[in-house]
Amino acid sequence: MKFIFEFVYNHNVLFLALFVLMNLLTLAMFHSDKKKAEKNAFRIPERDLLGFCACFGALGGILGMLLFHHKTRKPKFFLLVPFFAIVQLILINLVFKWGHGA
């Protein structure tokens, strides 16, 4: 497990770029799904939205929920997305704590 943290720490620019990209993509998905919901068009499945949130896109998901008022009444979203964000922030903290050999 420590090897993974060291690898990510040593390649932190790549990791941070992918983290930002994943959150922007998740934010765009929430925006797109909200617009589709307003037009009664084909929607993005909830499992996909939650999946992107779980894969280091939770901050984008939270921002999408707040900015677009989307999925804010669904318990699995208002409970799971913040949970994913907390876990991801803890993991990022561990990467930068353990990655440099502390």
Write out pLDDT tens, residues 31-61. 999 999 999 999 999 999 999 999 999 999 9
Q: Mind listing the pLDDT tens digit for each residue in 55-64?
A: 999 999 999 9
Domain spans of the chain, in order of start: 2-98
Q: b vs e for 17-45, b when ≥16 Cβ sit within 10 Å of the residue's Cβ?
A: eebeebbeebbebbbbbbeeeeeeeeeee
Whole-prediction pTM value?
A: 0.87
Task: Please state, in angstroms and rounded to a whole number, the distance separating the CA atoms of residues 12 and 38.
Answer: 39
Task: Please state, in angstroms and rounded to a whole number, the distance separating the CA atoms of residues 61 and 65.
Answer: 6
